Chains A and B, each alone.
Chain A
Amino acid sequence: MKTALVTGAAAGIGKACAMRLAKNGVAVGVLDLNLEECQTVVQEIEASGGKAVALTANIADRTEVRHAVGKLRDHFGPITIVVNNAGIANFIPFEDLTDKDWDIMFEINTKGTFIVTQEVLQDMKAAGWGRIINISSSSAQTGSKEQVHYSASKGAVIAMTKSLSQALGPYGITVNNIPPGAVMNTIMSEANKDRFRMSMDQLTKMIPVGRTGVADDIANACAWLASEESSYITGQTIGVNGGRVVS
């Protein structure tokens, strides 16, 4: 049985990824800031016959991450799949952005992804097999006018994906990213709700497949990238967006 760490897994896309991986027979570390919420996800996974453990850490804090990773390793063994999903999002016009706004965005979305990946990497190298899946953002592909900081932090994740894939390819480890489009009930849609000048009807009309996304759309792609079958795919940006962003 393989072991996966999913960050930001208490809700939304992270929770869906954790549930989908567990359904595929992977033991999952459900990591988020709030342990109780993680425990609720673990209970759901266990009720479906899966294996999971609740973990808490601020992904930008290496000590906390190291502790959580150690706990997961103790529970289920070496971690060979990581889903870097935890992140923050908001909308602030560029001229109003403070240094603090900028730093916290990169602290979580970019540095957090770096820390978590580095802390689990030894297991993957030892196994000669690994899957690193970074959840980026379609805003990094298209731009987003009041999210200069957010889209830049996610663009950095895409660049990290490419460079890290080159470093880790020889070890049997693939590194890819999924930039989600408009997925409902996520931190993005929460951050967005006061700024939405479009009705749902208008938004849906812009999406060729005629619906907004659900967390499972991302989770399905994530689980596929975590599988054996994707072994020749690395460094790539796997867009899941209903056709709104073509690449």
Chain B
Amino acid sequence: MIGNDPLDLEGQIAFVTGAGQGAGRAIALTLARHNAGGIAVNDFVAERAQAVADEIIALGIPACAAPADVSDIQSVTAAMDAAEAHLGPITLLINNAGNAGPSASMKPSPVFWETSPDEWDRYFKTNLHGVMNCCHRALPSMVKAGRGRVVTIVSDAGRTGEQRLTTYSAAKAGANGFMRSLAKEAGRYGITCNCISLSTLEPPLAEPEKSEFLASEQAQKHVSRYVIRRFGKPDDVAAMTLFLCSEAASWITGQTYPVNGGYTFAV
């Protein structure tokens, strides 16, 4: 049964990874504004996590910093244990932490055959193992509660392919496949598992550097490929995450929804 605000989170506790900046921060703040009962703000950098947790507390919503390296399962377990002790059982998990997306400078990476195998692991550790680690620790709480939402941020690079992002694409596509299968396992317990696939977000630069970058020929050329001619914003990602976390989306699972300005389409 849905009340007047179909996006009300009914006091549920969220764990948001990579939430110290950018889309992760926007997600954490948006969930807080829609009646989440508490937000655990994960980031690799403890100071960033604490700063966002403080912002949420200032909104009157319980929050805590939950610093951890998502690629380390022991670190994830300790952070979620501490978050649950502080806030209560986690029923919303947002896997946002990732690495090696397009950089602000958009400096091209080497073609795959010129990369060193030593470099591959770090993409898989964060983008795929990080998702698996967080789900492995969080799902038992959701099963016990008989409800839950897992939202994983993936990339159009993994969905449709992107040159010079080959290993990153593979890791993100892995996370996508993992989520589809998890959706089938977890649906019976009232848990939905979905992915949001992004194109390029505007870089997390301060002004005036950000405006200068967005006005640059390079940036304009980039967004000319998008139906909606702008880079994505953190709030675009947060809005879809909120919808998928809400009761309004209870029959949606196993899906990958692009939030990409129409860069590519999903069937």
Q: How far is the CA of A217 from the CA of B253 in the complex (A)?
A: 12
The reply to whether B6 and A240 form a contact with Cβ atoms under 8 Å apart is no
**CB-defined A-B contacts under 8 Å, sample of 30:** A20-B6, A23-B4, A165-B265, A166-B227, A208-B184, A208-B186, A208-B188, A208-B253, A209-B190, A209-B250, A210-B187, A217-B251, A220-B2, A220-B249, A221-B248, A221-B249, A229-B235, A229-B239, A231-B236, A232-B230, A233-B259, A233-B260, A236-B262, A240-B252, A241-B251, A241-B252, A243-B183, A243-B253, A246-B183, A247-B255
The interface bits of chain A over 38-63 (1 if a CB of B lies within 8 angstroms of the residue's CB, else 0) are 00000000000000000000000000
Q: Look across to chain A and name the residue whose beta carbon is closest to the beta carbon of B228.
A: A169
Q: Is B258 an interface residue (CB 8 A)?
A: yes
Q: Is A146 an interface residue (CB 8 A)?
A: no
The reply to whether A236 and B2 form a contact with Cβ atoms under 8 Å apart is no
Interface residues of B (CB under 8 A from A): 2, 4, 6, 180, 183-184, 186-188, 190, 192, 226-230, 232-233, 235-236, 239-240, 242-243, 248-262, 265-267
Q: How far is the CA of A166 from the CA of B242 in the complex (A)?
A: 26
The reply to whether A213 and B187 form a contact with Cβ atoms under 8 Å apart is no
The reply to whether A208 and B254 form a contact with Cβ atoms under 8 Å apart is yes
* Interface hub of A223, A242, A245 (most chain B Cβ within 10 A): A242
Contacting B248 at CB < 8 Å: which of A210, A220, A238? A220
The reply to whether B239 and A165 form a contact with Cβ atoms under 8 Å apart is no
Contacts across chains A and B counted by CB atoms under 8 Å: 123
How far, in Å, is B210 (CB) from chain A's closest CB? 18
The reply to whether B187 and A232 form a contact with Cβ atoms under 8 Å apart is no
Q: How far is the CA of A207 from the CA of B254 in the complex (A)?
A: 11
Residues of A with C-beta under 8 A to B266:
236-237, 247
Q: How far is the CA of A210 from the CA of B140 in the complex (A)?
A: 19
The reply to whether A165 and B253 form a contact with Cβ atoms under 8 Å apart is no
The reply to whether A233 and B192 form a contact with Cβ atoms under 8 Å apart is no
The reply to whether B227 and A209 form a contact with Cβ atoms under 8 Å apart is no
Contacting A236 at CB < 8 Å: which of B183, B190, B252, B258? B258
Q: Is A102 an interface residue (CB 8 A)?
A: no
The reply to whether A243 and B254 form a contact with Cβ atoms under 8 Å apart is yes
The reply to whether B227 and A240 form a contact with Cβ atoms under 8 Å apart is no
How far, in Å, is B131 (CB) from chain A's closest CB? 16
Q: How far is the CA of A162 from the CA of B226 in the complex (A)?
A: 13
Q: Look across to chain A and name the residue whose beta carbon is closest to the beta carbon of B243.
A: A224
